[in-house]
Chain A
Amino acid sequence: MPDSSLLGQFEQVVLGAILSLGKDAYGVTIHARVVELSAPRAVMRGAVYATLDRLEGKGLVASWLSEPAKERGGRARRYYRLEKSGEQALRESARAAKRLYDTLARNWKGLAWKSPH
């Protein structure tokens, strides 16, 4: 079972994007969501593909091809979904982030959550 230490920060963002997109998670939408989640940092499309490829290699996500679409020049979309091990790894990462946040909140008394948006 993969633990959170196997997940890099960018991998967590990509997994989070796939989770939030549900059944509509494919290259274009995942990149758009990752850009949104990583703002103000710019994210190249290639970095997203490389990470998806790595996550699939680790068995954390699964992918499949759709029917060809006319607006894509007759090309298929590759859709992604989290595998159980991917969900578990993401959950572990979220717990670790929560523990860190709680620690910071206890030590920096006035820590208030400010959204960048």
Chain B
Amino acid sequence: MEEPALVAPPELLERAVERLLPVAARECVMGDLREVYRGPWQYLVEALHTVPRVAASHVWRNANLPALGLNGVLIWLCLAGLRAGGQGLGIVTILLATAAGVFVLALSQIYGDAGRPTGARAIKGAIWTVGMVAVLCVWNFGLKYQRIGGADYLLEFGMLQSLPFVLPVLGLLRTGLLVQSDFQTERLADDGPSGLENEYRAFSVSARRVNWVESAALIGGACLTPILAGPGPWLPATFLATAAYLLAQNIVRPVEDAELRACYRRRLQTRRQLRHFLSWLWAAPFLLAACRLLVWPGYESGRAILVALGSSAIVSICFLARAADSECAGLLRERMARLEAGPVMGEP
């Protein structure tokens, strides 16, 4: 005898609700909504009452405010750096772009994939980054130099014409990063309490070591950034503030067994947001150097080759920072997804 068809919501509606739910909550909330399904309207009303609360809760739970704040400072510095000489983007635009950037970052923490990016996704992400950077460069530099009366459309075209030459090289680099990441054998502990505890201890020790080394490097970097990024106290100050934050991270309270899973998950999340920020912080002086030493002199002297080289450098640096961040975040997300799932299929 044939089994009766199970009652299910319209596929389109279900798929839309699934896309709006944070990744970590999809499995159980979608299942619960399906279990109480009585009709499309009831499903829609339930979803409208559920999705915003779940999304807001996940954003709040996953938000690492110091890391998001540092990210905001960095976005502000980069956009304000592009506004050299009082020209280019307006202060209000920069403020709105920074707020939007921080909001998107907070959302990206809950809607990102649960693991390392696949090849296809990595390529899409790379094209998206390169496209955004190119558009921002052309728009901002073009705007700046049109205002001071030195507009030359050939120079703006010079920024874009470098892209076809840069993209294959970046594609190869991205592939290399993917392959290297695949070779990395992640040591995952068994799901028992002692396995989890050992893994947490190993993670804590490694995070503390990295924090010490990186905070020392940041203090050194703060002294060297003026050489690359030019004079100005803000970037060195951000480096020093980050070093202080990393050292503060090393003061960790002891964890009770009952809280271990929640605490480990929180620390992985913090680590992920911190790594995201650090990838871009290390890239910032080089981005500013490319602007200061290549793009601006190129515009001012009318030498398209300098503008093309500078924009290629900017695109490449952004591409590499994003690729490194995406691979590192993927590894951390894999661990977090395992912790979200809880102990293997059953009551602990």
By a beta-carbon cutoff of 8 Å, the part of chain A in contact with chain B is: 23, 26-28, 31, 44-47, 49-50, 53-54, 56-59, 62-67, 69-73, 75-79, 81, 83-85
Contact = CB atoms under 8 A, between A and B. Distances in A.
Contacts, number: 113
Given A49-B53, A53-B61, A26 B28 contact: yes
A67 to B, nearest CB: 6
A78 B53 contact: no
B258 A76 contact: no
Interface stretch (B131-139, B170-178, B260-268): B260-268
13 contacts: A28-B35, A44-B53, A46-B50, A46-B53, A53-B54, A57-B262, A59-B261, A64-B343, A65-B345, A71-B34, A73-B14, A77-B31, A79-B347
B95 interface: no
Nearest to A88: B258
Contact of B31 (A57, A75, A83): A75
Contacts of A73: 6, 8, 14, 30-31, 34
A15 to B, nearest CB: 14
Contacts of A46: 49-54
B13 to A, nearest CB: 13
Nearest to A52: B57
A47 B262 contact: no
Given A23-B347, A64-B341, A64-B347, 5 more contacts: A28-B35, A31-B32, A54-B61, A70-B6, A73-B34
Given A70-B6, A84-B258, A65 B27 contact: yes
Given A65-B341, A75-B30, A58 B262 contact: yes
User: Which 4 pairs of residues, A with B, have the shortest CB-CB distance?
Assistant: A64-B342, A46-B53, A75-B31, A59-B259
Contacts of B28: 26-27, 65, 75-78
A66 B345 contact: yes
A76 B31 contact: yes
A44 B341 contact: no
B346 A66 contact: yes
B36 interface: yes
A97 B348 CA distance: 31
Interface residues of B, number: 38
A46 B45 CA distance: 11
A65 B27 CA distance: 9
Contact of A72 (B35, B58, B261, B345): B35
* Of B28, B259, B347, most A-chain CB atoms within 10 Å: B28
A64 B338 CA distance: 10
Contact of B342 (A28, A58, A63): A63
Nearest to A2: B259
* Of A44, A53, A54, A69, most B-chain CB atoms within 10 Å: A53
B31 A69 contact: yes
Given A44-B50, A49-B25, A77-B28, A72 B34 contact: yes
A64 B256 CA distance: 19
Contacts of A66: 345-346
A23 B27 CA distance: 19
Interface in B19-76: 25, 27-32, 34-36, 46, 49-54, 56-58, 61
A85 B259 contact: yes
B294 to A, nearest CB: 47
Contacts of B52: 46
B57 A71 contact: no
A67 B347 CA distance: 11
Contacts of B34: 71-73, 75
A44 B50 CA distance: 7
Contacts of A72: 30-32, 34-35
B256 A45 contact: no
Contacts of B342: 62-65, 78
